[in-house]
Amino acid sequence: MRLRGAEKEQRDRDRLPQRRHPAHDSSALLKMALRAMRKARGCQSVIRALHEGPEIAPIPQVSEHTQLSWILTCMVRLPRLQHLHQWKAKAAQQKHDGMMGLLTYPVLQAADVLSYKSTHIPVGEDQVQHMELVQDLAQGFNKKYGHFFPVPQSILSMCVLVFYPAPMKKVKSLRDPSAKMSKSDPDKLATVRITDSPEEIVNKFRKAVTDFTSEVTYDPGSRGGVSNLVAIHAAVTGLSVEEVVHGSVGIDTAHYKQIVADAVIEKFAPIKSEIEKLKMDKDYLEKILRTGSAKAKELAYPVIQEVKKLVGIL
Active site residues: 90, 180, 183
Alpha-carbon distances, residue 241 vs 110, 130, 150, 152, 166 (angstroms): 34, 29, 36, 31, 11
Beta bridge partners of 172: 180
Within 29-148, strands assigned E span 120-122
Please name which of 230, 208, 209 lies closest in space to residue 219, comparing C-alpha atoms.
230
| Length of the chain counted residue by residue | 314
Q: Which helix (H) or strand (E) holds 151?
A: none
Give me the torsion for CA of 9, 11, 12, 14, rounded to 10°: 130
DSSP characters over 80-104:
HHHT-HHHHHHHHHTTT---HHHHH
Q: Which helix (H) or strand (E) holds 114?
A: helix 100-114
For residue 260, what are the contacts with CB-CB under 8 A and spacing of at least 6?
A: 205, 229, 232, 233
Please name which of 212, 177, 173 lies closest in space to residue 189, comparing C-alpha atoms.
173
Please name which of 233, 170, 269, 193 lies closest in space to residue 37, comparing C-alpha atoms.
193
Please name which of 164, 272, 169, 254 lies closest in space to residue 205, comparing C-alpha atoms.
254
Cβ–Cβ contacts within 10 Å for residue 154, how many? Answer: 18
Three-class HEC string of 177-195:
CCCECCCCCCCCCCCCCCC
